[in-house]
Amino acid sequence: MRKPIRDSDVVIVGAGAAGMMCAIEAGKRGRSVLLVDHSPKPAEKIRISGGGRCNFTNLYTHSENFLSNNPHFCRSALERYKPFDIIALLEKHGIRYHEKKLGQLFCDDSAQQIIDMLKKECDFAGVAWQFPSLITKIQYLKYDSGSQSKKCKRFLIDTECNTLTAHSLVIATGGLSIPQIGASDFGYRVARQFNIPVTALRPSLVGLTVSPDNFASFQNMPGIAIDAQVSWQHAAFRENILLTHRGLSGPAILQISSYWKPGTPIHIDLLPQLDMHDIFKSQRYCNQQLSNLLANYLPKRFVQVWCDRVLTGLALSHMGNKPVRQYQNTALSQIAEQIRNWEVVPSGTMGYKKAEVTLGGVDTHALSSKTMEVKQLPGLFFIGEVVDVTGQLGGFNFQWAWSSGHAAGQTV
């Protein structure tokens, strides 16, 4: 039996942050828009984001906060839909928010308010929905319209229950992280179907694992947080690091995970606000044991294990944990240097199950930076996280979803 056909101007696959923003903008322009999602609960990532409060933007959004093989690509969209635009939308809906730190804006109450706001805006704009709905096939057809033998183009999208047709097809299916709440590789498969390159993909904004051979003693103290500066080559972030059962996490580690390359070390300055060389100089004749002195600045349990490891690494284990005055100047200087530059070689990441985003995506060289449309295939658009534009931690990924969704919504 033939499946029923449903015609729209625009079909958007993925009703997350980017997809809904695009739908709202296109609907406001009078386009008939159908939003399709395979999940019975679309936009789950908004709901769980920011610890349930959604860090929905960052006041200091700049193209430098994004990683991409094409670093300037994101500029145009970010310029045309700014943090103040999404703030204005929240204010229109009476959603209260606050700045937590570093320009990061969170809802006062719940991320669900953002989902409700977007759904309401979709309703105002006359957007239609189809979910849960699984897409089984996409075709791009060129045919004669009959009159004036004009060539017409349309996408034919087969779902399990009907066939959708549209002039514009927008892929907004996000990245691979947290597959348990609906993430899929759909967007990348569509790109490959139409010969659009996809850059290398990997989990990002994610904790790093460290082999127990090097780290076992630290893994027995999960939950310890240290304000540190973590760097990898030229990238550096000053925020908390967190010891976990499997390695390291916390905001500074999540940030550096986007830059880190397997097999290389990260460098951790455990006391970025102080110089341990100066402290040792001023405490040169101090009777306090080394670990007790360090425990004035760092968590005690951490210091005990760290001292053991570092003294062994520096071939000073014979010294044990002695009063500071018993160490030679060179030894204190080496210990101070280890605090400034603790080198850890991660064995990997905690993977897509724990990652906030996917680094990499649809190659931006194939897209118009103004509209997100595929240059070689007008009518096909990619927006949001599925594109090779990845924000740092702090609300930048949602800002990219709003801005790229808005950009496409003006054209579809």
Ligand X SMILES: Cc1cc2nc3c(=O)[nH]c(=O)nc-3n(C[C@H](O)[C@H](O)[C@H](O)COP(=O)(O)OP(=O)(O)OC[C@H]3O[C@@H](n4cnc5c(N)ncnc54)[C@H](O)[C@@H]3O)c2cc1C
Binding residues vs ligand X (CB under 6 A): 13-19, 36-39, 42-43, 45, 48-50, 54-55, 135, 172-174, 177-178, 182, 184, 186, 356-357, 384-385, 395-398, 401
How far apart are the two ends of the chain, measured CA to CA in Å? 32
Question: In this complex, which beta carbon is closest to ligand X, that of residue 204 or of residue 411?
Answer: 204
Quote the least distance from Cβ 370 to ligand X, whole Å: 19
Quote the least distance from Cβ 16 to ligand X, whole Å: 2
Q: What share of the chain is helix, strand, coil (3-state, %, to 5)?
A: 35, 25, 40
Quote the least distance from Cβ 219 to ligand X, whole Å: 23
Q: Are 28 and 411 in contact (CB under 8 A)?
A: no
Quote the least distance from Cβ 228 to ligand X, whole Å: 22
Q: How many Cα atoms within 13 Å fall on the side-chain side of residue 356?
A: 28
The CA angle 76-83-33, to the nearest 5 degrees, is 70
Quote the least distance from Cβ 53 to ligand X, whole Å: 8
Question: In this complex, which beta carbon is closest to ligand X, that of residue 165 or of residue 204?
Answer: 204
CA 312, 317, 320, 321 torsion: positive or negative?
negative
Quote the least distance from Cβ 394 to ligand X, whole Å: 7
Q: Give the three-class secondary structure for 103.
A: coil
403 phi and psi, to 5 degrees? -70, -45
Quote the least distance from Cβ 404 to ligand X, whole Å: 8
Question: In this complex, which beta carbon is closest to ligand X, that of residue 54 or of residue 196?
Answer: 54
Whole-angstrom Cα distance, residue 57 to residue 83?
Answer: 6
Question: In this complex, which beta carbon is closest to ligand X, that of residue 182 or of residue 346?
Answer: 182
Question: In this complex, which beta carbon is closest to ligand X, that of residue 250 or of residue 395?
Answer: 395
Quote the least distance from Cβ 126 to ligand X, whole Å: 20
Q: CA–CA distance from 264 to each of 160, 260, 261, 383 (Å)?
A: 46, 7, 6, 32
Whole-angstrom Cα distance, residue 141 to residue 164?
Answer: 13
Quote the least distance from Cβ 294 to ligand X, whole Å: 34
Quote the least distance from Cβ 109 to ligand X, whole Å: 15
Buried residues in 352-364 as b, exposed as e (16+ CB within 10 A): bebbbbbbbbbbb
> Long-range contacts for 280-284 (Cβ within 8 Å, ≥24 apart)?
280/324, 280/332, 280/333, 280/335, 280/336, 283/324, 284/324, 284/325, 284/332
Question: In this complex, which beta carbon is closest to ligand X, that of residue 392 or of residue 411?
Answer: 392
Whole-angstrom Cα distance, residue 160 to residue 4?
Answer: 11
Q: Give the three-class secondary structure for 377.
A: coil
Neighbouring CB atoms inside 10 A of 367's CB total 26
Whole-angstrom Cα distance, residue 206 to residue 344?
Answer: 16
Question: In this complex, which beta carbon is closest to ligand X, that of residue 283 or of residue 369?
Answer: 369
Residue closest to ligand X when measured from CB atoms: 16
Quote the least distance from Cβ 38 to ligand X, whole Å: 4
**What is the distance of C-alpha 201 from the center of its chain?**
12
Question: In this complex, which beta carbon is closest to ligand X, that of residue 100 or of residue 322?
Answer: 100
Question: In this complex, which beta carbon is closest to ligand X, that of residue 37 or of residue 121?
Answer: 37
Question: In this complex, which beta carbon is closest to ligand X, that of residue 84 or of residue 143?
Answer: 84
Question: In this complex, which beta carbon is closest to ligand X, that of residue 173 or of residue 338?
Answer: 173
